[in-house]
């Protein structure tokens, strides 16, 4: 059968994730990889999960942990998230929380909820490729959020394309891929823009707890609540995740938003998978309640040191004409190469000649532009492999330029 003839038109916009493909390189012992934006498995709170799993499967708890659950999510976990949101200035209740199978599922649901074909999504340039992949299925067009356009220009461009602007999406803290943080004035301006356009804000905050230096900036949702008095008056949808702070394999994320938005997302959840895995939610609640603060403090210490190692190595090894970000947190450093270079071509040569891996930057741009960029992750390596890997990358760049 020729399957191509019956695929929906949306499949033409869906592409394989370059990062998922590059993760296969982690199994090759001679490759030093800065590609996958993944936590160090040596830092997982394994003992706490082992204890939590035993507790979840005890005679008293197993009937709950192994049973169907409500679509909104396991109530003790949602209650813990309410407390976690309160730490950052977001006053809400469990009715404002939906548990999802990772924050990636939340992005898919939000695309389905908000986008009709031809509508406009405002995104950073570059933006998280997983978000672009999630939204692509719903056939939007993209406009550049961090450009110079104002509400009138955005609205006119969207109308000319046969749709309207529906939301602005961004990672405000140490965003993937650049590691950069939107300052307080930028967050306030974004709320103004969203009010003027009457659109939603999707705040993807997977890295918020991984700050290594600098002063914390309130989340966009917290700032909007401070303006408008209640989460029920807010247009910001906050997406959180345990993947970077605890462990990604259980696939537990959440959405925090006004109840009207949550209620609609629950309908999508019921149609998709009924609810996220109950056992995983029970275990995550136990681990979060028992070790979260101490564990995240340890992550900040370790990842902060590794960020410093990468930045120092880049200072030593990068040739003239290469620039990079200096993130205050998160997992990534973003390199801009000389204009004539292409990150994908560099990757092929770097793998063949130097056995070093990274993510080419083009996939992070909605229009496939800016090929002279690459993303590095610093979470997996200590001093020796970090120094060697960046030295290899420097040689690869010099060889590319010489050729």
Domain boundary among 238, 272, 290: 290
- pLDDT given at position 39: 96
Are β-strands 359-360 and 236-241 bridged in parallel, bridged antiparallel, or unpaired? unpaired
Hunting for tokens 């070790």 — which residue is that? 291
Q: Indicate if 34 and 19 belong to the same structural domain.
A: yes
Average pLDDT, the chain: 94
Q: Indicate if 323 and 346 belong to the same structural domain.
A: yes
- pLDDT given at position 20: 57
Which residue range forms the structural domain that includes residue 16? 3-45+293-402
- pLDDT given at position 16: 65
Q: Indicate if 297 and 235 belong to the same structural domain.
A: no
Q: Indicate if 17 and 125 belong to the same structural domain.
A: no
Weakest mean pLDDT among 71-80, 141-150, 247-256, 387-396: 141-150
Q: Indicate if 119 and 207 belong to the same structural domain.
A: yes
Give the pLDDT band of residue 66 (cuts 50, 70, 90). very high
Domain boundary among 290, 312, 346: 290
Q: In terms of Cα–Cα distance, which of 114, 123, 113, 160 is closest to 145?
A: 123
Average pLDDT estimate for 49-63: 96
Helix axis angle, 383-402 relative to 343-354, nearest 10°? 120
Task: Identify the helix (H) or strand (E) that includes residue 292.
Answer: helix 278-317
Report pLDDT digits (tens) over 182-222.
999 999 999 999 999 999 999 999 999 999 999 999 999 99
Taking the C-alpha atoms of residue 374 and residue 351, their distance in angstroms, rounded to an integer, is 14
Q: Indicate if 261 and 314 belong to the same structural domain.
A: no
Q: How far is CA 77 from CA 177, 212, 250, 329, in A?
A: 29, 27, 14, 26
- pLDDT given at position 196: 97
- pLDDT given at position 19: 58
Give the pLDDT band of residue 381 (cuts 50, 70, 90). very high
Q: Indicate if 123 and 137 belong to the same structural domain.
A: yes
CATH number, residue 266 = 3.40.640.10
Q: Are 387 and 313 in contact (CB under 8 A)?
A: yes
Q: Indicate if 133 and 173 belong to the same structural domain.
A: yes
Domain boundary among 228, 255, 290: 290
CATH number, residue 17 = 3.90.1150.10
Report pLDDT digits (tens) over 224-279.
999 999 999 999 999 999 999 999 999 999 999 999 999 999 999 999 999 999 99
Structure tokens at 244: 């970077």
**How buried is 200 (Cβ within 10 angstroms: 0-12 exposed, 13-18 middle, 19+ buried)?**
buried
> How many domains does one find in the chain?
2
Taking the C-alpha atoms of residue 264 and residue 256, their distance in angstroms, rounded to an integer, is 13
Cα-flanking dihedrals φ and ψ of residue 239, to 5°? -110, 120
Is the pLDDT at 165 greater than 80? The verdict is yes
Q: In terms of Cα–Cα distance, which of 351, 133, 331 is closest to 343?
A: 351
Q: Indicate if 20 and 71 belong to the same structural domain.
A: no
Q: In terms of Cα–Cα distance, which of 365, 375, 114, 107 is closest to 241?
A: 107
Taking the C-alpha atoms of residue 264 and residue 268, their distance in angstroms, rounded to an integer, is 7
Structure tokens at 195: 């009010």
Give strand pairing partners of 170. 203
- pLDDT given at position 9: 78
Q: How far is CA 281 from CA 53, 178, 366, in A?
A: 11, 31, 34
Q: Indicate if 133 and 273 belong to the same structural domain.
A: yes
Q: Indicate if 261 and 136 belong to the same structural domain.
A: yes
Give strand pairing partners of 323. 336
Weakest mean pLDDT among 64-73, 146-155, 191-200, 312-321: 146-155
Structure tokens at 318: 């990068």
Q: In terms of Cα–Cα distance, which of 400, 318, 325 is closest to 364?
A: 325
Q: Indicate if 164 and 278 belong to the same structural domain.
A: yes
Q: How far is CA 198 from CA 20, 168, 212, in A?
A: 35, 11, 35
């Amino acid at each position: 059968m020729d399957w191509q003839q019956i695929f929906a038109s949306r499949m033409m916009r869906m592409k394989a994730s370059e990062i998922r493909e590059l993760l296969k390189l982690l199994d090759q012992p001679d490759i030093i990889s800065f590609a996958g934006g993944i936590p160090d498995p040596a830092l997982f709170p394994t003992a706490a999960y082992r204890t939590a799993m035993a507790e979840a499967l005890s005679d008293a708890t197993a009937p709950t942990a192994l049973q169907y659950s409500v679509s909104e999510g396991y109530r003790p976990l949602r209650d813990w998230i309410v407390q976690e949101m309160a730490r950052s200035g977001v006053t809400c209740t469990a009715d404002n929380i939906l548990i999802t199978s990772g924050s990636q599922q939340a992005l898919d649901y939000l695309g389905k909820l908000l986008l009709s074909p031809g509508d406009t999504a405002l995104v950073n340039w570059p933006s998280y490729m997983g978000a672009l992949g999630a939204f692509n299925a719903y056939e939007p067009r993209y406009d550049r959020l961090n450009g110079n356009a104002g509400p009138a220009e955005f609205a006119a461009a969207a109308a000319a394309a046969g749709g309207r602007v529906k939301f602005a999406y961004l990672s405000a803290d140490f965003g993937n891929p650049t590691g950069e943080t939107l300052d307080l004035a930028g967050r306030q301006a974004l709320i103004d823009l969203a009010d003027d356009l009457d659109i939603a804000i999707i705040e993807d905050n997977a890295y918020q707890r991984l700050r290594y230096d600098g002063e914390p900036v309130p989340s966009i949702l917290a700032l909007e609540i401070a303006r408008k008095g209640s989460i029920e008056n807010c247009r910001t949808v906050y997406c959180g995740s345990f993947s970077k702070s605890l462990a990604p394999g259980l696939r537990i994320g959440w959405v925090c938003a006004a109840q009207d938005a949550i209620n609609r997302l629950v309908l999508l959840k019921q149609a998709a998978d009924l609810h996220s895995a109950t056992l995983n939610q029970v275990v995550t609640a136990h681990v979060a309640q028992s070790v979260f603060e101490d564990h995240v403090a340890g992550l900040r210490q370790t990842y902060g040191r590794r960020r410093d190692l990468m930045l120092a190595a880049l200072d030593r090894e990068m040739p003239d004409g290469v620039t990079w970000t200096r993130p205050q947190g998160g997992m990534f450093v973003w390199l801009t190469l000389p204009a004539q270079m292409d990150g994908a071509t560099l990757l092929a040569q770097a793998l063949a000649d130097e056995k070093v891996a990274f993510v080419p930057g083009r996939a992070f741009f909605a229009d496939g532009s800016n090929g002279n960029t690459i993303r590095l992750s610093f979470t997996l390596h200590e001093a020796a492999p970090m120094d060697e890997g960046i030295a290899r990358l420097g040689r690869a760049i010099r060889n590319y330029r010489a050729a």
